[in-house]
Amino acid sequence: MRRIVIFGAGGRTGRTAAAEASARGHHVTPLRSADADITDPQAVARAVLGHDVAIAAVAPAGADPRAFFQAAAEGLVTGLQNAGVARLVWVGIASLLPDASGVPALDTDDFPVEYRPFSLGHRTALETIKASGLQWTAVSPAGDFAPGTSSAGGYALTHIGDLTTRINRTDHARALVDIAERANLVGEHLGVTPLSPDAGVSVAGRGGDR
């Protein structure tokens, strides 16, 4: 059993991850933005003290995304370090994953202008986390979430972004908690895709493979 603190538990991704972790018997501290300001290192340190791992699934609520994500990453990193918590699972974004040609969607000419500030904010946050010395793993959909769809019963991990893919939040939460439970996959940004119909039992996220 691990002691897991989840920032952003008021949102769908964080809430689903909290439910998944609790169902596995972990001690879970779910935090909404009103419970702990992730941009405040002291608030973060108080919230994470005594935990083994932090999961962060946060987004700006009306704030400028570039400013928010930079402040969130800085507050999170400093707070975790001050509290002596080394393991971080960060919910990232698919536009930073390289496509099959090795180019992140954010860096392509046809990436939508309206999505750039959000993606650039995520890039700034990830750069801060990478430089922190924490045992971090970034986990995002390989494409996007699939609202209102049923679970595929598992997932697969990839280093390749594909903005056409869709993952159910329950299956994405399984990936988040699986990675929080493990000591490997540190220093990687991973995309989560649904199981294909012919996937074998060895695919990550199949029941029992935790």
Going by C-beta distance under 8 Å and a sequence separation of 6 or more, which residues neighbour residue 147?
169
Going by C-beta distance under 8 Å and a sequence separation of 6 or more, which residues neighbour residue 128?
70, 73, 74, 77
* Cα gap 160→16, rounded to integer Å: 24
Grouping H, G, I as helix, E, B as strand and the rest as coil, residue 163 is: coil
Tokens of 167: 């993952």
Give the model's pLDDT for residue 209: 27
**More confident site: 207 or 110:** 110
Going by C-beta distance under 8 Å and a sequence separation of 6 or more, which residues neighbour residue 131?
none
Give the model's pLDDT for residue 13: 96
Cβ–Cβ < 8 Å for 128, 102: no
Tell me which residue of 153, 160, 157 sits closest to 208, measured CA to CA.
153
Give the model's pLDDT for residue 62: 83
Give the model's pLDDT for residue 196: 72
What is the band of 197 on the pLDDT scale with cuts at 50, 70, 90? low
Going by C-beta distance under 8 Å and a sequence separation of 6 or more, which residues neighbour residue 168?
145, 146, 149, 150, 151, 152, 194
Grouping H, G, I as helix, E, B as strand and the rest as coil, residue 150 is: coil
What is the band of 195 on the pLDDT scale with cuts at 50, 70, 90? confident
Question: Does the pLDDT value for residue 203 go beyond 60?
Answer: no
Give the model's pLDDT for residue 119: 98
Per-residue pLDDT of 94-144, as tens digits, reads: 999 999 999 999 999 999 999 999 999 999 999 999 999 999 999 999 999
Give the model's pLDDT for residue 198: 52
- pTM of the full structure: 0.92
